[in-house]
Structure 1
Amino acid sequence: MKRPWAPGNKVDLLINGEQFYPRVFEAIAQAREEVLLETFIIFDDKVGQQLRQALIDAASRGVRVEVAVDGYGSASLSDAFVSSMTQAGVGFHAFDPQPRVAGMRTNLFRRLHRKIVVIDGVRAFIGGINFGIDHLGEFGAMAKQDYAVEVTGPVVTQLHSASKRLMSAVLQPPSQVHPQLEPTGEVTCVVAERDNGMHRKDIEAYYIEGIRMARERIVIANAYFFPGYRLLRELRNAAQRGVEVVLILQGQPDMRWVRAVSRLLYNYLLRHGVHVYEYIQRPLHGKVALIDDEWATVGSSNLDPLSLSLNLEANLMIRDRAFNRQLHAHLQELLDQHCKTVTLERMIRGYWWRAPLIFIGFHVTRFFPRVAGWLPAHRQRLQSLQPEVRPSTNTHANNTDLHEGPT
């Protein structure tokens, strides 16, 4: 059940942690009533510690602060890290935390993967950036390339509502912030969620709707690309009717299996006129796209089975020529300076031994949404964490397995 588009917003593109973190920390420092924050991962590193202090400072001056992290993605946060916040009055909640089995995290499926921050119900951030130093250039060659947006205006009501609904069971008393927002700009937006309830297909539906209306260009930059058959077919159809379809995918992946899986689809795409490029400067973690000269999206949703069929995700869908132009200029710069072209001739080499894998991979995209219903399910619940009841006490310094899955 999709929401209505909301006009009258202001949207600023934020590229990588260098632009994202200062704006988020500034907004938290200016909060007067409430901070709602959702993320997949918080690391106990330079960035995580700055976030923790900003949240503690806000709670100390009487701001209501509620944080939701994923019980799988942030399983390695220490008791000391959490207790320093809860003792200052920060509400800290984990989505479906589970005990480890033989030291391994077992709750892989249906994760809280979205990244949303809402300040006082009037200012919000949404995108794909977690809170960790690996989103800063100083991290080195494996620093992630990623995106978020800062937004004000009527659409913030949708983001506030989404976060309140997720945290409803732990917000005691309920949030007293009820935004009635005046226009702040000229951008038309809508929040698209994917959950395991009423919004199972919303993000995919917006993509398919946008691709079908495309007349000139489609540019998708996505970290983990293994979409369902319906979306693949729409990309093929767009290319065949003369739309320039460009995919920017991982060429220097943070997990090698990601590129291997995506490449199972390259033959199909290239044969039908889709242009495929691999970004090789650093690991691509972004989840952005644009269509023609107005439509764009920035968010947390990869185009893979986990994001499209299992995880809780959130994207901002944007209609604005200026934003589209800014994002396109940036992606064109990546193409010109930091991408290599994937050709059909290159993919055909060794095709004889890859053909069975390609056949299997293609049909997995057709049937996975149906199979997803058989995978382990659980209630979409948050557990308020106190150190004595936490499922894990490992610290980030001693445990780096948070990188095992898509982030």
Structure 2
Amino acid sequence: MSKYLPFTRDNDLTLLYLGQRYFTALVAAIDSATREVVLETYIFEPDDAGRQVAAALERAAQRGVAVRVILDGVGTSRRLPFLVDWVESGVVHRIYNPRLFGKFGFSRTHRKLAIIDHAVAFVGGINIIDDDNAGDGTRMDGPRWDFAVQCRGPIVAAISIAFHIQWLRLAPGYLGTPFRYRRRGQRGRLHAPYAGQAAFVARDNLHNRRAVEKAYLTALGRARHEVWLANPYFVPGRRLRRALTQAAKRGVAVHLLIGRNEFRLLDTAVPWLYAKLLDAGVRIGEYDVRQLHGKVAVVDDVWATVGSSNLDALSLFLNHEANVVVLDDPLVIELRDHIRQAFSEARLIDPARYGERSRWRRLRQWAAYRLYRFVMRLLTRGNYD
């Protein structure tokens, strides 16, 4: 396993908690653009947030800024009402995999990226959708629990390259990526001597198939004191589960925050994985105060990641994902406090009560997990372990 990440230092990083703060910062950055705006997202809804961002993109194009947008063919409907306005104003867009099974197989672009003038970039888990929009025409009781990072500094170059490779990949007549971007960076130590040290980690199906997974494995393998990990869809492969249990067994306080009440199959399947984690001493909290959508983690108060990658087969082995990894920056502590607060509101899994659950419940959990595993192995062509 590679131990290297393309870390750069002297980056200016700002944690954006919840969609409203993200959209405010994003629209302000787009409105200040003078040369180029690019954006890639899984969901782009024509609700208040979507119209706000779409209008900013149109304004930028109308004043001569080059504006390009990548939308996912399943996550975003191609019947968006403002696509016609985009064409008229000069906003250019491309669709990743327009059909469920298309040119790129079953994969989706699940990344949430924006780069303005090669100077400021946004990476995270927040789609272009209202905080409380459930996506099915209904409203949720509260805003999604989610994050993005606003980046300035050398890391923006790596984020920009990732978008432009994806843009070329979606060009008509694409036959293959015309070049490979391989950058060897500073060794990914948990303790770094410089503030603002960060790396961009992108997962695709060409050159970086396990990039996000490896970033997690490296950090968990070097953890010595404390791990805070929050993820809505927790069905990782054996290696990640083993890394969590091994960390707990060597005395690391491992806290796992898992989202609930979004997909019934996962709500039933995920608890089947709790047994070995609980036996190792991992503390598990199920969060259903509101929709947990953030994909974040903090290790030893010095390492953190924010991004789009869920810890499931689709994100780790199939979809295109993007995360930022941060070292020794105030953002790490700020993120840790958010996860810690949410964990305090979660329903903790009691090992004794979990062990006493009925045979019928165990059978349902086992069957749901096996069904999920079977489907994922088919979709990932056996890569899901």
TM-score by length of 2: 0.85
The reply on whether 1:123 has 2:132 as its aligned counterpart is no
Provide the residue aligned with 1:201 in structure 2. 210
- Show the 5 A alignment for 1:212-231: 212-231=221-240
- Matches of 2:206 and 2:131, distance apart in 1: 32
Give the whole-Å Cα distance in 2 for the aligned partners of 1:361 and 1:191.
Answer: 34
For the Cα contact (< 8 Å) 1:228–1:365, is it kept in 2? Answer: no
Provide the secondary structure at the position in 2 that maps to 1:8: coil
SS at match of 1:316: strand
The number of equivalent residue pairs is 355
The 1:186–1:171 alpha-carbon spacing in structure 2 relative to 1, beyond 3 Å, is: farther
> What is the percent sequence identity of the aligned residues?
35
Q: Where does structure 2 lack aligned partners over 5 or more consecutive residues?
A: 173-193
Quick one: which amino acid aligns to residue 353 of structure 2? Answer: R
The residue identity in structure 1 corresponding to 2:291 is P
* C-alpha contact 1:221 1:289 (8 A) present in aligned 2: yes
Contact 1:142/1:254, CA 8 A, preserved across alignment: no
Q: Report the alpha carbon displacement of residue 346 of structure 1 after superposing the two structures with TM.
A: 2.6
Report the Cα distance in structure 2 between the residues aligned to 1:366 and 1:311, rounded to whole angstroms: 16
CA contact (8 A) 1:309 1:369 kept: no
Structure 2 counterpart of 1:112, from 95, 109, 113 = 109
- Number of the residue aligned with 1:148: 148
CA deviations on 1:69-109 (whole Å, 9 max, x unpaired) are 1001002533x4211111110001110112xxxxxx56693
In structure 2, the residue matched to 1:399 is none
Q: CA deviation at 1:339?
A: 1.3
Q: Provide TM-score, normalisation by structure 1.
A: 0.81
Q: CA deviation at 1:33?
A: 0.4
Q: Are the structure 2 counterparts of residues 341 and 127 from structure 1 closer, same or farther at C-alpha, using a change threshold of 3 Å? A: same
1:344 has 2:351 as partner: yes
Q: 1:369 to 1:241 in 2, by over 3 A?
A: farther
Q: Higher relative contact order at CA 8 Å, sep ≥6: structure 1 or structure 2?
A: 1
Give the structure 1 partner of residue 328 of structure 2: 320
Alpha-carbon separation, structure 2, partners of 1:57 and 1:171: 25
Classify 1:237/1:362 alpha carbon distance in 2 versus 1 (closer, same or farther; 3 Å). Answer: farther
After TM superposition, the structure 1 = structure 2 runs for residues 3-402 of structure 1, keeping only pairs within 5 Å, are: 3-75=5-77, 77-78=79-80, 80-98=81-99, 109-135=106-132, 139-141=139-141, 143-169=143-169, 186-251=195-260, 253-336=261-344, 338-356=345-363, 372-374=379-381
Partner amino acid for 1:124? A
Structure 1: 5+ residue runs without aligned partners?
Answer: 99-104, 173-184, 376-407
Note closer, same or farther for the CA distance 1:239–1:254 as it changes in structure 2 (3 Å cut). same
Distance 1:321 1:27 in 2: 23
